[in-house]
Chains A and B, each alone.
Chain A
Amino acid sequence: MTAMLNIKDLRAYYGQVQALHGLEFALNQGSVTTLLGANGAGKTTTLRAICNMVRSTGAIEFDGAPLAGRSTENIVRLGIAHVPQGRGTFTTMTVEENLQLGAITRKDKAGVVSDIERMYDHFPVLKQRHTQQAGTLSGGEQQMLAVARALMLRPRLMLLDEPSFGLAPLIVRDLFKILGKINREDKVTILVVEQNAQLALELADKAFVIETGRIVMSGSANEIANNEDVRKSYLGY
């Protein structure tokens, strides 16, 4: 398997404060990888650095091409979809307009129309509400909309920032099931940041644990799930 995303010596800064201290990891094509860590460890910052939404140094390569110097929108156009924390819903627009926006960079009109139908298959609740203002959806529905919007890009890599945040456990299960399906059927590589470590490890092939801006542990999802320290700190048993 070849590395789709390769990150070397990634350092990120918020003003004077350094949030990442030389992160290194790679994502294999077609894999699901999870980044685990406590609040403030730098998980969100890592995702934001990949999309150039925070000042950073180091090398990030996507398919062998460096992302440095590219604007956020240009990175997205390469096929990297980012579902941000807080979902980033266009609340004043309808559900369908949100999906259209996900595909705004695509030129294939027919493909976009059929993809919208596909999203309605994945997430039937969105179909029921397709003319509704997105801001009126519940948290879970908005999270599904955010994932669907990201998929409308037909991404090759999807970055998800705490997709389970604020959702009822049953809805989280559904969401992760769909993510697995997307990974298998559409061959989308996934990098998911999660506090819900158990679910994330069930979905993932590979996992990294990050503490105060450094990777402190890495391995297959199984290894990490069975690691004593991880179990105590993140899985709680």
Chain B
Amino acid sequence: MELFTNQVLAGIATGAIYACMALAVVMIYQAIDHLNFAQGEMAMFSTFVCWQLMQWGVPYWGAFLITLVFSFAGGIAIERLLFKPLAKAPILTNVAGFIALYAIINSVAGLIWDFTIKQFPTPFGSSPFLGSQLISTHQAGMIGVTLMLLVLLFVFFRFTRMGLAMRAAASLPESARLVGINTSWMIALGWGMAAAIGAIAGMLIAPVVFLEPNMMLGVLIYGFAAAVLGGLTSPLGAVVGGFLVGVFENLVGTYIPGVGNELKLPIALALIVTVLVVNPAGLFGRPIVKRV
């Protein structure tokens, strides 16, 4: 029983990271109807920036904040330079854009910081949380930060003018322009926020998976699985999906013989395919009906 509880709690902790990645993916998907394959690399790059700042002597939370600002600006810059010109281009052109972005960020990070793994500190420490052996303070911190982020986003989208404008631009761009919303900037803002959320995920998971240019590959695939499971149109779904995927991954790895650590990743893919076949809208998503 203790093994089970332990695995569930650990699953919730890593699930928090998947939830952040899924949130980032959903934000961009809502804005431009495409999956950002480079979301993980953007997060990884941000994490390296944070690491570099700390190498230069900036304290953790200072580096954390600067990294958020950097990522936000970087996300906007990527949208303005690369994806705004592609806004009316076919899907495959956009996919090629995402893959290019993936490759560029990955290589540049390798070039600057090389491919050896690096330790990344945790601000929460790694002692047992509340004296319990089940979960560490860092894992509890990951869950706490994710939940806080979710509340902030909820308040932003529900109660602020900017949040309302962003929702309007995402749901019906033409009507949004007709009430005077600059939809193009709303998309850029969505990119900025997604990049910052991804950066948080990267900085929280780095102490667990260690810092190196390919660290987010698996995390992003789980993030996709979480977003698909929760429904690509629902931020709440993304978060719930993230936690579910985290728990599911751990339980399958523990209890199904032969899966272990090596086969965990295909499980995420199997989950994506299953959801898409059985219930493409996901748990919380709206079915998308298009008139043709």
In the complex with contacts A97-B164, A100-B164, A105-B171 CB distance below 8 A: no
Q: Which chain B residues lie closer than 8 Å to A104 at the CB level?
A: 161, 164-165, 168, 179-181
Q: How large is the interface on B (under 10, 10 to 19, 20 to 34, 35 or more residues)?
A: 10 to 19
Chain A CB count within 10 A is highest, among B168, B171, B177, for B177
Distance of A72 Cα from B183 Cα, bound (Å): 10
Decide if A101 touches B168 in the complex (CB within 8 Å). Answer: yes
A93 at interface by CB-CB < 8 Å:
yes
Closest A residue to B168 by beta carbon equals: A101
From residue B66, how far is it (CB to closest CB) to chain A in Å? 32
Which of B161, B178, B286 contacts A88, CB < 8 Å? B178
Q: Which chain A residues lie closer than 8 Å to B161 at the CB level?
A: 100, 104
Decide if B171 touches A101 in the complex (CB within 8 Å). Answer: no
> Main SS of the interface on chain A?
loop
Decide if B175 touches A90 in the complex (CB within 8 Å). Answer: yes
Distance of A149 Cα from B172 Cα, bound (Å): 15
Q: Which chain B residues lie closer than 8 Å to A149 at the CB level?
A: 179
Q: Which chain B residues lie closer than 8 Å to A81 at the CB level?
A: 178
From residue A137, how far is it (CB to closest CB) to chain B in Å? 15
Q: Which chain B residues lie closer than 8 Å to A82 at the CB level?
A: 178
Distance of A76 Cα from B167 Cα, bound (Å): 19
Q: Which chain B residues lie closer than 8 Å to A93 at the CB level?
A: 167-168, 171
Q: How large is the interface on A (under 10, 10 to 19, 20 to 34, 35 or more residues)?
A: 20 to 34
Which of A53, A91, A92, A153 contacts B179, CB < 8 Å? A153
Which of A53, A77, A84, A91 contacts B180, CB < 8 Å? A77
Q: Which chain B residues lie closer than 8 Å to A63 at the CB level?
A: none
Chain A 135-153 near chain B by CB (<8 Å), digits 1 or 0: 0000000000000010001
In the complex with contacts A73-B180, A105-B179, A84-B168 CB distance below 8 A: no
Decide if B171 touches A92 in the complex (CB within 8 Å). Answer: yes
Distance of A51 Cα from B180 Cα, bound (Å): 11
Closest A residue to B162 by beta carbon equals: A104
B52 at interface by CB-CB < 8 Å:
no
From residue B160, how far is it (CB to closest CB) to chain A in Å? 11
Q: Which chain A residues lie closer than 8 Å to B183 at the CB level?
A: 73
Interface residues of A (CB under 8 A from B): 51, 53, 71-73, 76-77, 81-82, 84, 88-93, 97, 100-102, 104-105, 149, 153
7 pairs, CB–CB < 8 Å, chain A vs chain B: A51-B178, A84-B174, A84-B175, A89-B175, A93-B167, A97-B164, A105-B180
Interface residues of B (CB under 8 A from A): 161, 164-165, 167-168, 171-172, 174-183, 286
